[in-house]
Structure 1
Amino acid sequence: MKNKILVIEDDRAISELLCMNLTIAGYETVAAYDGIEAQRLLLWNEDADLAVVDIMLPGRDGFALMEDFRAKNLPVIYLTAKDDVASKVKGLKLGAEDYMVKPFEMLELLVRIEKILERTGRAKRILTIKNIQADLQSHQILKDGIPVNLKPLEYDLFILLLQNKNIALGREELLKRVWGEEYLGESRTVDVHIGQLRKKLELYDEIKTIPKLGYRLED
């Protein structure tokens, strides 16, 4: 099953970009383009897991919608051009989980979504690719139903790739998020672990090398 993200954004180009990237990352998306439509959207999406919301919306702005989100107990990330401190404080005080200012980095938004879903207990616990299942609750990887023994860093690296399917991740990004900010070793350690994942999971074609950058898990 996929997590469902509501995208409430009146700029259709930005909305389409958000929905496209969220879909590529493995989420289901539903879009609304104004505050009134967003209210109707909430009524029909009881299984939604998170909303990405612009503030300056026609009909009813993002701040006014927070009452509806709270009634549904739905986590919210404000994604807005309003970069003043007063608006950020207001948004967070109203109950938003996070507040991001446009222009934004898509990868950063995906990380924040992932963290909020995990923190709120909404993250889907089973991730899949081909004949492989990753159970995030038991920390178990199954291939054709049979457990695969991955070392802790191999597991963390594979889950990161799996949670960002079809997105290119640089070696430095992988090092930072798997090995940690304090890691001082060589980036080649990523290559070694990728090699082990390809071998153990037989994902030779799916884990793509991106020249001069890093890797991408393609589904």
Structure 2
Amino acid sequence: MAVILIVEDEVSINELITKNLQLVGHLCVSVFDGRAAISEIDSHKYDLIILDIMLPELDGFEVFEKVKEVPTIFLTARNSLSDRVKGLSMGADDYLTKPFEMLELLARVEAVLRRTQKMKSCFEVGDVKVDFNSYQVFYMERPVECTPKEFELLEVLINNRNIALSRDRLLELVWGYDYEGDTRTIDVHIQKLRKKLGWEHVIKTVYKVGYRLEINL
């Protein structure tokens, strides 16, 4: 779990980001203008900031100048090359333009947290332990043999836990956009993971959609 500050003046977007980050286990605080962001960072410790550029009071670049020590992802409708170069050259960890897919934001959050060592390299729940660094999986303290694709699928499910993922989206995330197989591949791999990890009731089937790893941490 990481503590994340969301600085976004569009209430609907702020709430959407907050909801999805909370679903995967993070603690979120929301503010809606630049001065409130600086005040919040001065009084509390954060692992990551998701920072819009076009803000009331102070813009995102001005805020970032004062909080460079905190890992930051710029999130903005300003998609010009000069803005991206400015944000990254200032030292931001990533830059994502609107409109964006929530799964992409979640993946970028995870990547930044890993780089800044704020996210555990191991995931444990119940009798299952997954070590992302060594690519090892354990069930009831015994090693579980997983194929590379089974491990990648497991990692995607864990990183997006409590979020419903379509079969097509899982194919894109694990097998890639150019994969020519069909969605039955996902069903086969899900059944294998369920059996190997005792997760028959943890990896939920979402009717007419796909699957969701349902975990309360």
TM-score range, shorter chain: 0.7 to 0.9
- Please give the alpha-carbon distance, in whole angstroms, between the structure 2 residues aligned to 1:59 and 1:145: 53
Q: Deviations over 1:82-104 (max 9, x none)?
A: 34444333223322232223332
Structure 1 residue 7 displacement after superposition: 0.7
Match of 1:10 in 2: 9
Whether 1:52 and 2:50 are equivalent positions in the alignment is yes
Match of 2:154 in 1: 158
Match of 2:32 in 1: 33
Please tell me whether the aligned partners of residues 38 and 67 of structure 2 are also in contact (alpha carbons under 8 angstroms). no
Please tell me whether the aligned partners of residues 18 and 28 of structure 2 are also in contact (alpha carbons under 8 angstroms). yes
SS for the counterpart of 1:87 is: helix
- Please give the alpha-carbon distance, in whole angstroms, between the structure 2 residues aligned to 1:88 and 1:155: 34
RMSD of aligned residue pairs (Cα, Å): 2.1
Structure 1 residue 165 displacement after superposition: 0.5
Match of 2:87 in 1: 91
Note the 1:45-194 alignment, pairs <5 A.
45-46=44-45, 48-70=46-68, 72=69, 74-194=70-190
Structure 1 residue 215 displacement after superposition: 1.2
Return the TM-score normalized by structure 1. Answer: 0.86
Q: Which amino acid aligns with 1:16?
A: E
Structure 1 gaps of 5+ residues are none
SS for the counterpart of 2:67 is: helix
Shift of the 85–138 alpha-carbon distance from structure 1 to 2, 3 Å rule, reads closer
Residue identity (%): 44
Return the TM-score normalized by structure 2. Answer: 0.87
Structure 1 residue 197 displacement after superposition: 0.7
SS for the counterpart of 2:199 is: coil
